[in-house]
Structure 1
Amino acid sequence: QFGAVGALTLLSWLVFQSFNQVQEIGCLVFFPESKFLIAASFLILSAFIYLCPLLIHSPCLIDIKEINLTKPDLWGHRGAPMLAPENTMMSFERSATECKVKVFETDVQLSKDGIPFLMHDNKNEFLKRTTNDTQKISCGNQVDISKLQSLNAGKWFIEVSAASDMSLATKRAETQTIPTLTQLLDLAKLHNISIIFDLYRPENCSNTNDTEDTVKVILDSGINHELIYWLPPQNREYVKKTSSFIQVYNNTKEMSAQNGAHLNVKYSDLSADEIRDLRNGGVKVNMYVVNERWMFSLLWCAGASSVTTNNCQVFSKMEQPDWTMVSDVHTCSNSGCLFVLPTPAV
């Protein structure tokens, strides 16, 4: 809007020059409405540009005192990947201790000997990005867990981060390995933190028992079932029959059909009004992946239950949305009303 106002101001002299030239060249004799059209068009365009902010809708156009919603919970996306190598024990530990996350978000695959391990990438050479694998392994179920855990899963992070110091954190990052799901379950029990995960099967790899094997490992761990947020849609009925995990859905249609109350969707999939309607209906709404403060602030104002983030170390320090604005602020007394310009919340 500021740009449009500036452009309108700079071009106004051309408009008024044309306005005056209409009369000078005698156009009014043949087109008496020309002068009126020029003036009316300019006034209409000016009014639209100056008033268009009234059309702007934001959940943060509200008095901060009227936000009765609690701060969205933080779900650590593969732990705290800005602080430590993703999907490693160091990453999850730092998300728990430094960010106070409520949920560990991760990715699970199965090894050749049926052990669930944590790894996001799931295409050919799926270990290449985050480990020092030189054999170009294409399927997790082609390798035993002992082989997988012999790989280094942290040196890549130091190289990408361009860290040159030899701090204790750096040294520890360099020694990280691929964790098993059992290791993460033990950490979750220790800190009473929930776990949610995608269950991946690398391309061209068959593993028909991945759901059953994963559920068995979780049940054998003895973790409280309410700490497990089950997201994978495959074999959901089997999971319901064998456990009391909290069922989480990735679309409102399936959630409604299953009488669910937990939704996990991309931050751009729902409007602020839709989030509020779902929350008013008793649905827990998690939005992923949210890394910017302004987006976190908007979802906070909208009433999101939680966000999955890579930036937990920043969001954990925020005490309120970065920006809120009251649409009209005024105080009145017997002598009249005083209107005050809205100010951003700091």
Structure 2
Amino acid sequence: MPKQKQVSLNLAHRGASGHAPENTLAAFRLARQMGADGFEFDVQVTKDGVPVVIHDEALVRTTGASGYVFDYTFEEIRRLDAGSWYGEQFRGEKIPSLEEVFAEFGDLVLNVELKNSYYAMPQLEEKTIGLIRKYKLEQQVIVSSFHHMSMQELHRLAPDLKTGLLYDCVLVDAVAYAKRLGASALHPFFGTVKPDLVAEAHAAGLMVNVWTVNDEMHMRLCAQAGVDAIITNYPDRLRTVLNSVLD
């Protein structure tokens, strides 16, 4: 029998953020409706140590509030409106907790990005691991970060979990570097990826998951290069491209 083509996973970037406010339950539910295999989202901790889903450390862009996520308790964070900045129809969308996302979307592939590159987020690795264990999502979740020491620490604490190294440049000896840190995947900016890197990574047992690919031509090139996952703001657009690649 002929070998079946590998199909890249369709992962919605912060949910279907091209159509709904990023990192909200509305965006995640829409991603599911659009046929995404899962989604990528960002996690930080509140002042009282609750992991919540939001990209920026500063609250102003998506909620209009002053200060930073770590200045607010979870109860205070929940009072903020994380939807109306995108559109009036999303007014009242809340910043979700990581636990809420795991509870509702554990049937999907979940790429949890730890936003701990600029500010210390005490216990973020441990709390994320604890919730993965609680919901038995070891096979569904990959944890990534631009903070590679955090990924090394997470691997030390939970060597069975998948970790991905985020980067936006051309890394020298990227595959050897990832293996040395115990990572499961490279998460490069899509423009740095060539088929030979994908082949080298696959030969070493690593995944290659690229971000953030919104143009159809770039989606097609990434899929043809054999990447394992494509992260996009438009999972509906990517679904069409991936279906055409299979034809």
- Residue aligned with 1:185, SS: helix
- Which consecutive unaligned segments of at least 5 residues does structure 2 have? 167-173
Q: Which residue of 2 aligns with 1:294?
A: 217
Alignment RMSD: 2.5
Deviation at 1:239, TM superposition (A): 2.7
Q: Describe how 1:157-172 pairs up with structure 2 within 5 A.
A: 157-158=86-87, 170=89
Aligned-pair identity in percent equals 21
Deviation at 1:260, TM superposition (A): 4.4
- Residue aligned with 1:248, SS: strand
- 1:271-294: CA deviations, max 9, x gaps? 123223433554321111110100
Q: Which residue of 2 aligns with 1:33?
A: none
Residues of 1 paired with 2:43 and 2:96: CA distance?
Answer: 10
Shift of the 240–277 alpha-carbon distance from structure 1 to 2, 3 Å rule, reads: closer
Deviation at 1:87, TM superposition (A): 0.2
CA contact under 8 A between 1:109 and 1:200: conserved in structure 2? Answer: yes
Residues of 2 paired with 1:145 and 1:103: CA distance?
Answer: 25
- 1:111-139: CA deviations, max 9, x gaps? 011001011112xxx11111132xx11x3
Shift of the 211–130 alpha-carbon distance from structure 1 to 2, 3 Å rule, reads: same
Residues of 2 paired with 1:206 and 1:321: CA distance?
Answer: 42
Q: Which residue of 2 aligns with 1:89?
A: 25
TM-score by length of 2: 0.84
Amino acid at match of 1:119: I
4+ residue runs of structure 1 moved beyond 6 angstroms?
A: none
Amino acid at match of 1:320: S
Deviation at 1:149, TM superposition (A): 1.0
1:320 aligns with 2:244: yes
Shift of the 235–156 alpha-carbon distance from structure 1 to 2, 3 Å rule, reads: closer
Q: Which has the larger radius of gyration?
A: 1
Deviation at 1:176, TM superposition (A): 0.7
Q: Which has the higher contact order (CA 8 A, sep 6+)?
A: 2
Q: Describe how 1:276-287 pairs up with structure 2 within 5 A.
A: 276-287=199-210
Deviation at 1:311, TM superposition (A): 1.3
Q: Which residue of 1 aligns with 2:54?
A: 119
Deviation at 1:68, TM superposition (A): 5.3
Alignment coverage as a number of residue pairs: 235
Q: Describe how 1:44-83 pairs up with structure 2 within 5 A.
A: 69-83=5-19
CA contact under 8 A between 1:227 and 1:245: conserved in structure 2? Answer: no
1:180 aligns with 2:89: no
- Which consecutive unaligned segments of at least 5 residues does structure 1 have? 1-65, 160-169, 323-344
Residues of 1 paired with 2:79 and 2:230: CA distance?
Answer: 33
Q: Which residue of 1 aligns with 2:170?
A: none
- 1:19-39: CA deviations, max 9, x gaps? xxxxxxxxxxxxxxxxxxxxx
TM-score by length of 1: 0.62
- 1:133-183: CA deviations, max 9, x gaps? 2xx11x322211111111111111016xxxxxxxxxx3xx22211111111
